[in-house]
Amino acid sequence: MTSTGLSMDVSSTAKRTILISGASIAGPALAYWLHRSGFAVTVVEKAGALRDGGYPIDVRGTATEVVRRMGILPRLRDAHIDSRRCTFLDADGSEVASLTPGAVAGSVEGQDLEVRRGDLAAALYAIVRDDVEFLFDDSIETLDQSEQGVDVTFHSGRQRTFDLVVGADGMHSPTRKSLFGPEEQFHRYLGYCFAIFTMPNTFGLSHELMMWNTPGKAAALYAVGDNDELHAFLNFHRPQPPLDALHNPDAQRDLVAAVFAGAGWEVPGIVDAMRGADDLFFDTAGQIRMPHWSSGRVALVGDAAYAPSFLTGQGSSLALVGVYVLANALVTHRHHTAAFAAYERDLREFVAMNQALVDNGAATLFPTTAQSLEQRNTMLRDLVTMPSATARPAHSALALPDFAPMP
């Protein structure tokens, strides 16, 4: 896939105002590109401050070029986790295979990055915090569009008008809900639920991941360094999403504990740690698939528009690329209707290829039957003796257009 960029007319964009909802990854990244192009940018974030922590994420393929052009690639290389080993275990905890992370994920050593989500967020925030208005501890309450702009009422009560609004507020986007309707219309459930949290590193793990599997269940411990903390991950197959537990943390803990009752290896201790974790994140594995990513003067970007799910490993990378394409479209096309149309035209195929990774084997690490588990284990054993895999074509399928230099 290729796309062509046009030069920027700074004078025509200097007075355009834009509100971005969400200050995680996509929001600050979009703020960077639009500020350097002459937009007056405001970012609203419901949290009281920049969010730290979070599970490690990948920056791969085309997204690596995006962060290079932003000037933060050296910082992210310094923050690269550099995991050295992935060890897969069977039901009783004995080793199935031990491989390099690149062989498992299809990443390119020396090019693709894995960083703590908080490190990426901090790097993005650092390059925009002095130039962009951030409204923390607030959110959009209502949007009222007109020919002149978007009248926004915030949860705090303040009211302002912007030329454009972009929802960069995640898979469960309030902006999408207010504009397009309930999430159920666009959510594609992929048959898994997962819980993520941190726990003490009492196993002596260092720069490595250990994953235990039985059919339909997986437990993983990930040491991203030499510190005393582990990222724990519990994943399980469920044909229908547990809607009654999605907004009830106690019900989530009870559900996970029931699913993993009687499991082997270190799973009982991991479940106990989950019970006491103060950073538990529970959700379903799913995608957001929408026929359109904009309506009037409001557009969506990143997970809000096209979440690919953690099973692809492409969520953050897809958001970074999407932000770049959207910003370039807004700079290239003065009218928002043309800009949003170009954004969708230039990005749709890339999104489709990356979302299709879940149908092309991305979920093979979490088999749901004994037969598929044995097939996966055979594949892992074969990988031990094979050269490291190269990146999947989907990761690098979009050639970025040139973005006009800073004036």
| pLDDT tens-place string over residues 246-298 | 889 999 999 999 999 999 999 999 999 999 999 999 999 999 999 999 999 99
Q: What is the DSSP string of 37-77?
A: TT-EEEEEESSSS-------EEE-THHHHHHHHHT-HHHHH
Q: 361 falls in which pLDDT band (50, 70, 90)?
A: low
* 389 DSSP 8-state letter: P
Mean pLDDT of 393-405: 82
User: Taking the CB of residue 135, how many other CB atoms lie within 10 A of it?
Assistant: 18
pLDDT tens for residues 17-74?
A: 999 999 999 999 999 999 999 999 999 999 999 887 778 899 999 999 999 999 999 9
Tabulate helix, strand, coil % of the chain (nearest 5).
35, 25, 40
Q: 338 falls in which pLDDT band (50, 70, 90)?
A: very high
High-pLDDT (> 90) share of the chain, %: 72
Q: Is the pLDDT of residue 3 over 50?
A: no
At 403 the pLDDT is 81
Task: Look over the chain and give the mean of its residue pLDDT values, rounded to a whole number.
Answer: 89
At 364 the pLDDT is 79
Q: Is the pLDDT of residue 362 over 90?
A: no
Per the structure block, which two tokens stand in for 155? 């949860």
At 11 the pLDDT is 40
At 110 the pLDDT is 59
Q: Is the pLDDT of residue 301 over 70?
A: yes
**Cβ distance 297 to 150 under 8 Å?**
yes
Distance, first Cα to last Cα, the chain: 29
Q: 100 falls in which pLDDT band (50, 70, 90)?
A: confident
Q: Which residues pair with 61 in a beta bridge?
A: none
High-pLDDT (> 70) share of the chain, %: 90
Please compute Rg for the chain using Cα positions.
21
What are residue 212's phi and psi, to 5 degrees? -105, 140
Mean pLDDT of 328-343: 95
Of 181-195, 221-235, 290-304, 351-365, the one with minimum mean pLDDT is 351-365
**Cβ distance 63 to 396 under 8 Å?**
no
Report the amino acid identity of residue 231: H
How far apart are the C-alpha atoms of 22 and 30, rounded to whole Å? 10
How many Å is the maximal CA-CA distance in the chain?
Answer: 66
Q: Find, among 202, 174, 223, the residue nearest to 55 by Cα.
A: 223
What are residue 232's phi and psi, to 5 degrees? -105, 145
Q: Decide: residue 302, CB within 10 A, 0-12 exposed, 13-18 middle, 19+ buried.
A: buried
Per the structure block, which two tokens stand in for 100? 């390099």
pTM of the model: 0.90
At 53 the pLDDT is 74
Q: 402 falls in which pLDDT band (50, 70, 90)?
A: confident
